[in-house]
């Protein structure tokens, strides 16, 4: 006899802090990959009233202006005035990004850049590690 299983799901609406934070992290990832397709990006965003905290580990040849990305993303969502609860131009943005640790990098980079570009799709899949977005 099969035991019953409980399946849950979370759904949040546009403008919800969790969704805003995910959109910020995604925008940072997109910007870094646009500059360097070989970037390894493990970035999270957290929020509280009027304040965003972006943290994580990154390895990339590109440079991303994190504060500008956060403000642009928040502005695009529609938070443009403190009268509606949040102003993209005056909210606080704290950033704490460091270079990806050697231990994480060892788990995610099994092909060097030159080999990765010539490897087959199957070889790239087999070499893919865990730990990065």
Domain boundaries, the chain: 17-101
Q: Above pLDDT 90, what percent of the chain?
A: 58
The answer regarding whether domain 17-101 maps to CATH 3.40.50.1400 reads no
Provide the 3-class DSSP secondary structure of residue 95: strand
Q: Above pLDDT 70, what percent of the chain?
A: 75
Torsion sign, CA atoms 57, 59, 65, 68: negative
> Which tens digits make up the pLDDT trace of 102-128?
665 555 555 555 555 555 656 655 555
> Which tens digits make up the pLDDT trace of 18-52?
999 999 999 999 999 999 998 989 999 999 999 99
């Amino acid at each position: 006899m099969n035991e019953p299983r409980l399946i849950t799901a979370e759904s949040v609406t546009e403008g919800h802090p969790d969704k805003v934070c995910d959109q910020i992290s995604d925008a940072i990832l997109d910007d870094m990959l646009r500059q360097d397709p070989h970037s390894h990006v493990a970035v999270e965003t957290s929020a509280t009233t009027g304040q965003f905290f972006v943290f994580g580990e990154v390895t990339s040849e590109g440079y991303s202006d994190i504060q500008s990305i956060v403000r642009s993303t928040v502005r695009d969502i529609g938070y443009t005035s403190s009268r509606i609860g949040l102003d993209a131009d005056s909210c606080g943005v704290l950033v704490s990004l460091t270079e990806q640790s050697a231990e994480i990098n060892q788990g995610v980079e099994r092909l060097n850049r030159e080999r990765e570009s010539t490897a087959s799709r199957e070889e790239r899949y087999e070499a893919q590690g865990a730990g990065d977005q």
